[in-house]
Amino acid sequence: MENKRKIITLPNGLRIVFEKDKNAKTCSAEIRVASGISFETPETAGTSHFIEHMFFKGSHKRSALDIAVETDEIGAYLNAYTARENTCFYVRMLSEHTEKALDILFDMVRNPRLDEKDIELEKGVIKEEISMYEDSAEDMCADTFYENIWKGSMLGCDILGSADTVDAVTKESLQAHIAKFYVPERTVISICGNYDEKTVLEMCKKYFADLKNTGFDLNPVCAEYSPGVATVKKSVMQNQLILGFPGVSLKDKRREAALLISSVLGGASSSMLFQHIREKLGLVYSIETACVSYLESGVFTVAMGLNEKSEETAINETLKIISDFSNTVTEKDLARAKEQSVTGFVMELENISARAARNARNLLLYGKIAPEDEIIRNIRSVTLDDLCETANEIFDFSRISLCVTGKTKSKKAYKEIFNSAK
């Protein structure tokens, strides 16, 4: 598969990743830009996300309706999302419609209309989106958790911004953000599937070759982890709870081990936490772990939904399993986690859209695309000693963090639970 991938860098520094699959009948393309909340300021929080919305409101030659109708006419799927360290715009289509779909995607990103009436209208839409997430105990718990563990860093802020920062958006502020962040050195275009490479390359040059390289390369934002307890009182039937420990960054050599720890602890129905906390004790409906990694920061989390009466027991039992992980994890556990990870990765490689996303994400954030065989080899090479050593480094109970949303106890009560578990 490696020899089918090609990276072309335009004279201005913009990188284009081609991955041809002649057996495919579809094509997937995306534009990924190093623009997100972590690169914003308290005053501009949410701008990256606002721009994502505005690109769908029309270009200089297409209205918002035109974009929607022309996309539907060729049966394509056009969408976007904003993450903490990047924004992605993507389209999926039949190979025969590649040129048309790319023209829509490239046009809306390069020539946004940014009509002031549309901007005012979209402020209301985004504030409704903020309210929607605030109504969700699960989303509110996650947002509050990140805000508290990364105090003082934009990485921990809400990607959507706040009602105040949304209201403060102007056409000029959006244009300034685009001029600063939507530059060749912070942009990757990725194409995967069955397409005509010459045609696609010419389209990329047509729309992006005139962009000027400003020397504003991607500089990772480091957020210092802060342990502590946060609570959000909310009238809900089920509390949402997140436990956290300092994690690993995207480039940390321990990342494969950390991901496998997550798999063993709470990544599947056979995992330690799922089997004990849910299946044996019946304390939760859902429980899962995650190794959340960014360029220079990371956090290891355990999330669960449960009745407030079950909290103390669930937390205690969870911390017992975590504290004893290095003594109880077996070669069989590790082997099972490796197979789950490798299988998931290989299955992803059979998905054209996932491959396009992987190529863009890795080239933008890592500066390279690691060969698939290398990824699999790195996963399989993790030893039980590696797993235990990494677990002992991550699970520092003096740096534990917690966020609970719902019918919460006092912060003091939760800290007492921690103290009794140590």
- Among residues 30, 40, 52, 256, the one annotated as catalytic is 52
Cα atoms found within 13 Å of the Cα of residue 98, Cβ hemisphere only: 24
Give phi and psi for 306, each to the nearest 5. Answer: -160, 165
Amino acid letter for position 252:
D
Can you spell out the DSSP letters for 190-230?
A: EEEES--HHHHHHHHHHHHTTPPP-S----PPP-----EEE
52 has catalytic annotation: yes
**What do you get for the CA distance between the two ends of the chain, in Å?**
49
**Cβ-based neighbours of 317, under 8 Å, separated by 6 or more:** 276, 277, 281, 283
**Cβ-based neighbours of 266, under 8 Å, separated by 6 or more:** 272, 273, 274, 287, 288, 289, 302
Using a 10 angstrom Cβ sphere, with 0-12 exposed, 13-18 middle and 19 or more buried, the burial of residue 68 is middle
Using a 10 angstrom Cβ sphere, with 0-12 exposed, 13-18 middle and 19 or more buried, the burial of residue 7 is middle
**Cβ-based neighbours of 362, under 8 Å, separated by 6 or more:** 368, 369, 370
SS3 label, residue 302:
strand
Q: Are strands 228-233 and 401-406 parallel, antiparallel or unpaired?
A: parallel
> Which active-site residues does the annotation give?
52
